[in-house]
Amino acid sequence: MSDEKDYLLISQLTQAGYCLRRAALIMNEQIWKESADTAKGRMDHRRVHTQRVERRGEDIKLYEYTVFSDSLGIMGKCDCIEATADEDGCTIPSVEFPLRLYPIEYKHGKVRAEEEYELQLCAQAMCLEEMYHTTIAEGALFYTSSHRRYPVLLTEELRDKVCHLIVKLRDIRDKMITPVADYSTKCKRCSLREICMPEVGHSAKEYCKDLEMAAKGEGEV
């Protein structure tokens, strides 16, 4: 693996999938604030985040497994990888037979479609594919509150989104950019809302738009 300092963390990619401004505040300005949801999620992850291997015959579970991609310049950890014997699978260290890999990411709350989590899972799978010269068509999000899995197909569209997001995030990091908030319903759930003040940025943009329209004789300020 190349110099780790140049790598983006997959967790940063997840934040960017939710909001680029949030990712920049955390990554560039080292700003963080806990909420009830993030605290609960962190506690749930502690139950999983013990690096270990569980093996039952030809079924293996790898917990807190480090993954990376030199081509994408990202690294992180998978909560869990289910590895099942498959003659068309890949070979990983310390296992003498080929395996099919199935990454699983643990999340707090009820089952729901959240693109930033799907992007995170896809990025992990892309790392595994590069590391072990294999193909992973699907993974899953496991929601701890409902004890249910949400299968995620790792489509070409999702993979393209991961690649595009990596480019955006690297540009934000390297140029120390903090994007203006894109105010939406997501802002109401964000633990950084009071620090970010997305409504201010939204109001400023609307005010500038009104000024522009007034200058053109199309409206009033």
pLDDT band, residue 140 (cuts 50/70/90): very high
Say how far apart CA 49 and CA 112 lie, in whole Å: 22
Does residue 68 surpass a pLDDT of 50? yes
Q: Is 53 helix (H, G, I), strand (E, B) or coil?
A: strand
What tens digit of pLDDT does each residue of 26-55 get? 999 888 765 545 445 555 555 556 778 899
Say how far apart CA 28 and CA 30 lie, in whole Å: 6
pLDDT band, residue 192 (cuts 50/70/90): confident
- Structure-block tokens of residue 62: 């790898």
Strands (E), the chain: 8-9, 52-56, 59-69, 74-90, 99-107, 138-143, 148-153
Does residue 184 surpass a pLDDT of 90? no
Does residue 2 surpass a pLDDT of 70? no
pLDDT computed for residue 164 by the predictor: 97
Return the C-alpha torsion angle 100, 106, 107, 110, nearest 10.
70
Say how far apart CA 139 and CA 105 lie, in whole Å: 8
pLDDT computed for residue 171 by the predictor: 95
What tens digit of pLDDT does each residue of 84-129 get? 999 999 999 989 999 999 999 999 877 777 899 999 999 999 999 9
Orientation angle between helical segments 10-18 and 156-174, nearest 10 degrees: 100
